[in-house]
Amino acid sequence: MDNEFEKLSTKECYNKLNSSSSGLSSSDVEQRIRQYGKNEVVEKKENAVLKFLKKFWAPVPWMLEITAIITFFIGKDLDTYIILSLLIFNSFISFFQESRASDAVEMLRSRITVKTRVLRNGSWEQIISTELVPGDVVHVRMGDVVPADVKIERGKVEVDQSALTGESNPVRRGEDGEIFSGSIVKKGEATGLVVATGAKTLFGHTAELVSSAKSESHLEKLILSIVKYLAVIDVILVLGLVVFSFIYNVPLIDAIPFSLVVLIASIPVALPATFTIATAYGAIDLSKKGALVTRLNAVEDAASMDSICFDKTGTLTKNELTVQEPVLFESSREDITRYAMLASDESSLDSIDLAIINFGKSAGVNMEGYRITDFTPFEPATKRTQAKVETPDGMITVTKGAPQVLATMCPGIKVDEVMEKARELSLRGYRTIAVAVNDGTTWKFSGLIPMHDPPRDDSKELIGKLRDMGIVPRMITGDSTPIAEEIAKEVGIGQNVSRVSDVISGKTKVDDCNAFAEVFPEDKFSIVKILQKEGHITGMTGDGVNDAPALKQAEVGIAVASATDVAKASASIVLTHEGLTDIVSAVEDGRKIFQRMLTYTLNKIIKTVQVAIFLTTSFFIFRFFVTTPFDIILLLFANDFVTMSIATDNVRFSKNPEKWNVRSLVGSSFSLAMFIVVESFAILIIGMRLGLNNNQIHTFIFDMLVFSGQFTVYMVRERGRFWNSRPSKWLLSATVADIIFISLISWLGILVTAIPLRDILLVLALTFLSMAIIDLGKNYIFRHYGI
């Protein structure tokens, strides 16, 4: 983000904002609130009722609405009510999930709303930070949340802005330095000038990115693509049926309702609800494993995810500095560690000091007899800390800080040699601290202490598992390129590390990068969009405010257990356990759900093609309708809604990302449907030879279509033989219940014309036998089409 005040001194900022170190007057504040607005992220709130009503204005709802209208006009009131209930149910679920995801901006606003000390009318007072304006003079101290972007006039502070910029260590800022809204003061205090408020701050800019981020829905595209192919087949057949009826004087009063019902049968009415049930079932399962799903379609997208971006700090790494083996010059390992500990202050909570003290304690360094008599904290001017220490052998002075500064202080030490070693460590991703000691006569250079933020224990294993699953992992970090290269190497991500500016400018292709360095918050958002533009289904993991826009933009946004509230509200999956291994579970469950939906979709296409071709061609051949429009509507519910139990089926997950290939789906389904059409004609001929009248033939064929639809599910759910895996108890129970129910109404003559029980059992046996025979060649067709 461009910052017009970054290169200006505080005095120049005062002039630019027409302010002074004595603060603003009340009249100045009123005028600036009118000019700049309040110090808050303005959220455009949409009317909840209108937002809910919009759920009925989209391609999938249109299809359900058209279906309801058709069923109403052909006098099927009960069917109309059922379809409308399904439409309302789908819309409510979508509305509820989107409302939860939009909590991200509200989280950002609540984070900004803090109290702050401000100089107004020549005196200090405390106000709510939303009342701040550019030109205000504020004072911050340890523990404060910085209320706006502030240019420091006097004082020194250390601020933790890791959640905002991704920097793993607190940064030190002094006179003319700038601290950003939303960061936390860890040490010191300072007075400064407010240079930006609200959406103009780095924090506010992040909030705007969150509100503008939106991932694309793949479900509607899938359904429309399937319907497009089915509609072409059905329209051709229906037109042929109408023309045939006209030629052979079949009453249009019979042909038109039948044609409309064939078209209705082509619309995957239950598909949205089945997706919802399948993903909800998967979400419940994931919650038991430690991953909370806040946007249901993210579970489905996890199946197709082929690229995932990891924020480095706090996600792949522990977000805590650790000391590596010291590089010795003029001291022993124990001495350099002791001197470094003496030059550190545990009460400061400084990450470097804490890391050194913890390292010394774990190494068992003896500190008995050493007492600090005077301690000088880190000074930006001197770039070092210093302590006077009383030891058993007398007084000494110890210091730690920048290698070049300390090497220059020590006679007899070659500065170039020290800096060369420091550069080598830097290229390996280490931050280097030098240590020196003075025994009263001269300074001696003890050596160098390398430090780095280590990877989490499970990061490398996770990266390996994701690669095995066909997912390309990428790392995103605000750190320098050398540090990014080292961490990427340690966790096994890869060696191709690029500066993010090269990727965004197009100088480097995003697919050629394993990691991105020197990244700002809006860059993460841009990287996700670039990957999506290249056709990748993208995941993003993170923990901080700076990750929130990218988490919301990604198809699969994953917030780790330690994430900020903003990150969790922006993500579609929130991990509740420490570590990242639950990501693998999310992918596995997503791919299982994909397999369930693939089974449902294959079955739906097969049955649609079977019904459309068999019913129309049988009319052409035998010149009568082998079943009734009512039977087709009843079939729609007997098959489509019963087979929704596929959402609970036991399945195996694929080893590679799943992608919906509509041409392959239609091609394989059409090929299998042709065999089932042959089966249907064979059973029709058998029924006609049994001496059944036309009304009984209607029931006979209706039973065949229902039983065939149920058995087809068991054929297409397996890539091996249909008995190779055990279906879920719900799927099996639904099938058995459906067969018993249809058999009973057919035998008793409820809703349909009664036929003998032996004929019902004959249809049942013939459809099962046909399925078992077609199952022998099924795998050849699936392999041919890549299913």
The strands making up 472-476's β-sheet, listed across from edge to edge, are 291-293, 573-575, 556-559, 538-542, 307-311, 472-476, 515-517, 497-499
How many Å apart are CA 346 and CA 81, to the nearest integer?
Answer: 70
Q: Are strands 184-196 and 149-160 parallel, antiparallel or unpaired?
A: antiparallel
Residue 311 annotated to the active site: yes
Chain center to CA of 479: 23
Contact criterion met (CB below 8 Å) for 476 and 541: no
> What does the DSSP assignment read for 60-128?
HHHHHHHHHHHHHHTT-HHHHHHHHHHHHHHHHHHHHHHHHHTHHHHHHHHHH--EEEEEETTEEEEEE
Contact 118, 137 (CB under 8 A): yes
Say which residues have a Cβ less than 8 Å from residue 448's Cβ, sequence separation at least 6: 326, 327, 329, 403, 418, 421, 422, 425, 432, 433, 434, 435
Q: What angle do CA 104, 95, 76 make, to 5 degrees?
A: 170
* Backbone φ, ψ for residue 153 (5° rounding): -90, -45
Residues 6+ apart with CB under 8 A from 760: 703, 743, 746, 747
Helix (H, G, I), strand (E, B), or coil: what is residue 556?
strand
In this structure, are residues 709 and 763 in contact, taking their beta carbons and an 8 Å threshold?
Answer: no
> How many Å separate Cα 143 from the centre of its chain?
32
Per-residue tokens: 139: 């004072």
Are 308 and 541 within 8 A, CB to CB? yes
Which segments within 161-213 are labelled E, that is strand?
171-173, 178-179, 184-196
Please enumerate in sequence order all residues whose Cβ is within 8 A of that of 155, keeping only pairs 6 or more positions apart, or say none.
Answer: 174, 175, 188, 189, 190, 191, 192
**Mutual orientation of helices 662-689 and 757-785 as an angle, nearest 10°?**
150
3-state secondary structure 454-471: CECCCHHHHHHHHHHCCC
Q: Which two tokens stand for residue 606?
A: 């097969």
Contacts (Cβ under 8 Å, ≥6 apart) of 131: 29, 33, 38, 39
Beta strands in 477-570 (DSSP E): 497-499, 515-517, 538-542, 556-559
CA distances from 618 to 55, 216, 234, 244, 419 (A): 40, 43, 15, 12, 88
Q: What are phi and psi of 403, to 5 degrees?
A: -55, -45
**What is d(CA 76, CA 84) in angstroms, rounded to the nearest whole number?**
12
Write the single-letter amino acid at 627. T
Residue of 311, 353, 547, 589 with catalytic role: 311
Which of helix, strand or coil describes residue 718?
Answer: coil
Dist CA 15 CA 482 (whole Å): 40
Assign 622 to helix, strand or coil. Answer: helix
Q: Are strands 556-559 and 538-542 parallel, antiparallel or unpaired?
A: parallel
Are 655 and 718 contacting, i.e. CB atoms less than 8 angstroms apart?
no
In sequence order, the β-bridge partners of residue 293 are: 573
Which residues lie closer than 8 Å to 646 by C-beta, 6 or more apart?
274, 278, 596, 597, 599, 600, 603, 713, 717, 731
The set of catalytic residues is: 311
